Amino acid sequence: MGEDIPQTLLGLLRIYSPSGAERAAVNWLVQHMQTLGMQAHVDAAGNAVGTIGTGARHLLLLGHIDTVPGEIAVRVENDLLYGRGAVDAKGALAAFVDATAAGAVPGLTVTVIGAVGEEAASPGAVHLRTHFARPDFLLVGEPSGWDRITLGYKGSAWLDLRVRRALTHNAGEAASAPEQAAAAWQRLLQWAAEFNQGRERAFDQVTPLLRSMHSENDGLEETAQLQICLRLPEGMLTAVAEDVVRMLSGADVTVAACGDALPAYRAGKNSQLVRAALAAVRAAGGQPQFVLKTGTSDLNILGPVWNCPAAAYGPGDAALDHTPHEHLSLGEYARSVTVLRALIEGLATPSSCNQ
């Protein structure tokens, strides 16, 4: 591949790093940031951390270095660079590094972190929540498109539904374990439909997602299992998971929450960070727009705790997330680096001192 391809982006894509197997990519990124003039190290959680500048105000650019499984051959077709993570979200992380490595700016310290495990249980972000000092500004790297700023993400709750029962003859009237699991799923869909009445925006709705299903029998007993994700709207208490557990549980059905539920998060439009982002997009010739995402990101974990000006930004079409056709426009990547560099310089100006 030609040298005109951004080396940070290309280097990250060439190292396959699904959740739990990020070490090689982390080590490469730390060394690469060092060669670009940044101070860099691996933290206790395995995150790649790079810093430049010594200013009193601190901007954290938080990307994630892990991807979903499914390796995609790295290749270029015209303006498009293919590879697992090109969109979600090595593209944003690489853009963070390239924009930051252009040089320190007065009054501002910039830290870039490639966090581990965002596609799993986010151990990288969870570690930062208690072991990283609250920054003045937080920008999370997720695909929004080069001219759009993401302000919010829905919350999430994961549930494990299991049905276990003694086998009966298939001509009998008793519902089988798979049938009981399917009936529970239908009850959940009906509950969600009733909750969503009058709520037109997807961001305001609760969305049940069936992520996996499995059934088997050993000749004496049969089981069925569903893994369910609930996407939660803003304002819905995460305790809703407990209500769903009670609603779906029965004589043969047990439902358990998997980990802690995350509430939805929405950042304010009028922070100094968002204003700098809007100005940077306009300066690059774009007409900026705001986005509210129906998924969940590390912004849900850190935004409410740090309560600092925050948003998410990154190149790429989110519709390509997790797909076998994941690719990123090199032209869009270049524009996003330009926007990020202008944002960094905008936060360093005297008018940015007021948050």
Active-site residue set: 66, 118
Q: Return the bridge partners of 293, or none.
A: 153
CA distance 249 to 30: 48
What is the H or E stretch that residue 119 is in?
Answer: none
Under 8 Å between Cβ of 284 and 250: no
- Give the SS3 label for residue 174: coil
CA distance 175 to 181: 10
223-254 in b/e form (b: 16+ CB < 10 A) is bbbbebbbbbbeebebebbeebbeebeeebbe
**Cβ partners under 8 Å of residue 126, min gap 6:** 45, 301
The answer to whether the Cα torsion of 126, 127, 129, 134 is positive or negative is negative
Q: What is the 3-state secondary structure (H, E, C) of 278-313?
A: HHHHHHCCCCCEEEEECCCCHHHHHHHHHCCCEEEE
Helices and strands counted in the chain (H then E): 9, 16
